Every structure is written in C-alpha cells, then in structure tokens.
Chain A
Amino acid sequence: MVTSAPKTGPAPFAAAKAKVLGCDRCGTCLPACPLFQVQDVERASARGKNALVRGLAEGLIPPDREAQEALEFCLLCRACTDACPGKVPTDEAMVQVRQALADTLGSTPLRSRWIGRVLRRRRLVGLGAATLAGLRVAELHRLLPPQLVPRETSRRAYLKKHAGPALLGASAPRPEPAVHPGAKVAYFQGCGMKMLFPDASRSTQRILAQLSPFQQPDHPCCGLPHLAHGQREAFLDLARENIQAFEDADLVVTDCASCSGSLKHLTSWFAEDPIWRGPAERFSAKVMDLTEYLVAAGYQPQRLPDATFTYHDPCHLARGQGIRQQPRQLLKQAGKLIELAEKERCCGGSGSFHLEHPEAAAAILQRKQANIEGTGAQVVVTACPGCLIQLTRAADQSEGAFQAMHISQVI
C-alpha cells in the first residue's frame, strides 16, 4: 500500500479526472460546501465528489444511475473551489463528468431533460412567458407551486411601500456611458427573467433605455441548464445561435448572473473549433452583467431614503465573475445597505436544483432566510433569477418580514 502511480481509466472520464487531479483530499472544502451541511456524508461533499470522479476514471466505481445521481447533487456554486488551497475546479469537473455519464447512460433526471427541451425552443420560452403572464393577470399562478412560479414582487408595489406614489415614474439622471461611448448595447433577456420575473426584466429595460437606445435581438437560452445536465451539443448549438444573434451589438448586457457567467465563458468551449473560436471570443468579450455595465456607464440610481436593503451574492456573479462591488455601489446609492451574514453562501436555487432536490434546497434556504431576517432589512436584493426564485420563497415564508427583488427593481 505505498503510493502508486495514477492509473489511467475509462476514457470518457479522463477530462473530468484531469480537473480533479489537484485534489489531495485534505478536507478544506467540507465546511465550505452547503450540501455537506445538509447531508453530512462524504458523497455529498466536494471532496467526496472529486473522489467519485477519480473512482469512475480508475474503474473503481461503476458508471451507473447511482453515480449519476450523486454527481447531480452539486450546486455548482464554487464555494469549494474558493476555499480549496489548490483551487480544484470541482464545478467544472461536475459538468464534465455529468456529460460523460449522460453520454453513457442518457440524461437524467427527467425534469431537467424536459426543461432542457423547453429552453432550447425560443417559441416555447415565449409561450411559457405569455402563459405565465396570463395566469398572473388572472391571479391563477398562485395555484401552481411557488418553486415553479415564484410570486414576483413588482417594482410598483415596492415603490408604493417604501417611497410613496410621488416617486413613481421619476426618471434617474442620464449620465454619459463611460464605457464605449456610442456603443450599440443589446439586452440579453434570459429565460428565467422572461418567464418568471417579467416585472424585473421590464425594470432592466427601463434602466437600459435611460442610458442609451438598446436592441433586443431575438435569441435563445444561454445554454447553462443544458451544460449542467450533460447536454453539451444542445449548449453548443445555442451558443452558436447567440453568437450570431448578437453579431451587431458592441455590448451584450444581461440581468441574469447565470447567463452572463456562461456567456462570458464561451471561448473555452470553442477553443478547438477553427470556425467558431474567433466569433466566440469576440462575443464573450462584449458580455457584461447589468450591474457591471451600469457602474461603468455611470448610472445613478434613484435614492429612496427609507429603503433598507441587504444583498445576496449570486454564486455565478461573485465567485463566477468576481462582481461584488458594483451591485453594492448601486445599492448604497439607492438606499441603506446592510451586509448579510454568509452573503456569498449559495441560496440553494442553482438552476433546477431546487426542483430536483427540494428538501436539500429548502434546508439551505432556511439558513439563508435566517441570515436575511437577522439583518432587519426590508428588501433582500439579488441579481440572478435563479436566486430570486429561492429568495422569493424565503420572503413568502418570512410572512412579510422582508421582500425579495431583483436589483433592477430597486435602483
């Protein structure tokens, strides 16, 4: 039992194994992993999942449904990578191993396959958005489970509550954009914003319009849900469509942290593709998160002196893109910001994770809710529809202690 040379294993898992080679199983990730807090068994931790990847690659673990389920049980929140002394990219390994397992066993679970199919079709997304809008008008959306159709708080309701009607419709000052003066700005409206948070999406558009005229090309999903569930080809198809759809734009601004995160990182997926490498690189270079763009463009939010906020950092924005200061800067200009304990801890949303693992997601959210309530803030603000689904749910559970809103609704 002396240390032996690393074995090479079943080929499909080689790419994932290469990502976890730096894991020396020290355990630093254990207290960082939100799922390990919920299920304190090795399989649930980042270290455990990295070991499973090696186990698969070295033929010690059979590539079966159980392995697939274990590896689907990851939020891809990168908290482990952040804590890891060797910065092992467990989230990237999970994406790769899920792909390898999906290639072997077929995609799972059923729900994500279904979601993947819907999100691939622009018409279905549009239809979904229209249906939900109709349901909202008729107040019938309350009949559906809140995980599927979160109860969105409208900006109108927010202003009514916190500032009074006098401020409704007041326009923010219009500074000259500091970035790319005269740049052609395009809005990337992610599926989550379009279908689940139309009021927040309208707020984003209103803000963008205050700064400069912007385009809104017809475009499909960013493809992250597909990538996360082993549907690489679908992801690549969608990426190519998006690259083309935004060819004319100089800046692609999105108000979804997951969309901006995945769109900014298209380059690596096309690194070996002589045709798409260049366009992917150019496209990724022009993607900006809404808050990143607003701060760079010198946007001045309306100040509502009575409003108190706390801010939840979306994993894909803070750890994924290093965007932490911009949302805070905007919020401090708009009202009083009270920092949240464990502000960067995942809320448990993570794409469709909350649908597939409702109990684990609820347990993670419980801690988030307690932290939010601890601030005493009236509004918890975030910058990702995935998080907003969860936070809206926490707001419901808090029975009015706080509201949950997208940042574009409060600035």
Chain B
Amino acid sequence: MDNIIAVIWKTVLLALAAPLVSGVIRKIKNNLRMRKGPTIFQPYLDARKLFLKDEVVSNNASWIFYAAPVIVFASSVCALTMILAAGKAPLMNDGLAILIAALFVLGLGRFFLALAGLDAGSSFGGMGSSREMFISSFAEPAAFIAVFVLCMGGGDGFRISNVLAGFALSMVALAETSRIPVDNRETHLELTMVHEAMVLEYSGRSLALIELASHIKQMAFFTLITFFFIAPAALCPAWPQFAVKIAVIALVFALVEISVAKMRLFRVVDFLTFSFFVALIATIAAGLGL
C-alpha cells in the first residue's frame, strides 16, 4: 500500500514537472542557436492560456473528437505511473510485464488521437494520423526489444547491453515524442508535419490537454531511458540523481535536435530499423553477459 501511494505521488510530481522539461529543452535549443527564447515555464503559460479559451469544434466531429484528448491524457499519465511502478518491482519478473503493458497503454492514446485526426474530415488530419501510425508501428519492435534487454540485465549496473538498448530506446523516443529528425513540432508546414497535423483541428482546452499529454508522454519515455543508464533503476532515494539524469537526457535531445536535419518520411523507416538492429545487438551482448 505504501508502495502504491509512493508511486502515485511521484507520478503527480513528475506529471507536474513534465512541461518544465519541454520548456528546458526549448530553452537550450534557443540558447544554442544564439537566441534568447521564451522562459522555461512557457509550456505552463501556454496551457493556462489554452484552458481559458473557448473551443471551436468541427461540424463533422463525433464523440470521438471529444473523448480523444481525455483518453490520450489518461493513457499518458497511466503509462508514467506504470513505468514508475516497474522501477520499484524486480525488473526480471513483474517489471518487464508492467513495462510492456505501459507501452501498450501508450498505444491506446495514440490510437484515439489518430482516430480524432480523421474525425474532422480535413486532409491534414488524415495525413497526420496516417504518418503517426506509420512511424509508431515501426518504432514498436525496437522499444519492446530494448525493454527486454533492460530486464535481462536485471536493470542495474553499468552494462554494455543496457547502454546499447538505451541508445535504441532513445532513438525510439525521438520518434515517439515528435522530435527532429523524425518530426518537427515547431513548424506548421504541411510537408513536415506529423503530430501537429493530426491535432490541427483542436483548440482551447482540448488542445491544452493534448499538449500536456505529450509532455507527460515525453516524461514517461525519459524516465524509462533513465533505467538504462548506469545507476540502479529504483529511483526512490535518489531524487537529485534522477533530476540530473533527466537534465542530461534533455540536453542530449536538444543537441540532437539542433544538429541534425529533419528526414524525409521514408527515411524514418531506415532510422527506426537501425534502432531495431542496435537493440538486437544489445540482446546479443546481454546474452553474452556483457
């Protein structure tokens, strides 16, 4: 019972901190580009502004359009909770089952968001849905194998297999959190949009909910990636350590984003296939006990 309560308040804390991480990444990117950029609290301000706005809903939309933001938000929070819970369990047995279930839960949110993209009947929405499902289905094998490898090693200590798997999972996370080189959240160009195209019809509080959900999903992936690197997976006593790890991941992601170009959609397949093979090599390393 204590465990459950601990997991719940940690989830709340991390969910609250999730927009901050996005703000930090954006700030780092801007500073590296010699710009000042908005404050790191900008995502909170955006969310507040959106929550206070009225909403425009398409005439064509059905109940799916209303339900999707709620389901996406709930699934992101649920996945974050499960990843935190898995960190407390022995990874070898229950941890893996919970982590894999968490990946499935993220799939639930994605499914509804993609449906909502098709719901309004605009071609942008459909394009976004199609691309989102395309990218995520190719990302899934690498994510699953990476989690396998993590659990084969028991989740702690410095292991080559863990580092490789963490690298593979980071590539998946780039795709799943709609970052360059896979997607670009900062533009609204029809050629480059994936995620943004899908949620183009949303406004007001629904959009706020979707944005928050994507921050929390990013937090879930970052938390999962922290399990792979060096220090033990359980993060209960080590808040500063955890915060440092998240900050490092944020820095790395920001650096990747400013130093590579966005890929064509069909190059993403190669990118994700590469991450799959890295994960497979990690399996071999784990099998050899490295």
Asked if chains A and B come from one complex, the reply is no
Q: Which residues of A contact B (CB under 8 A)?
A: none
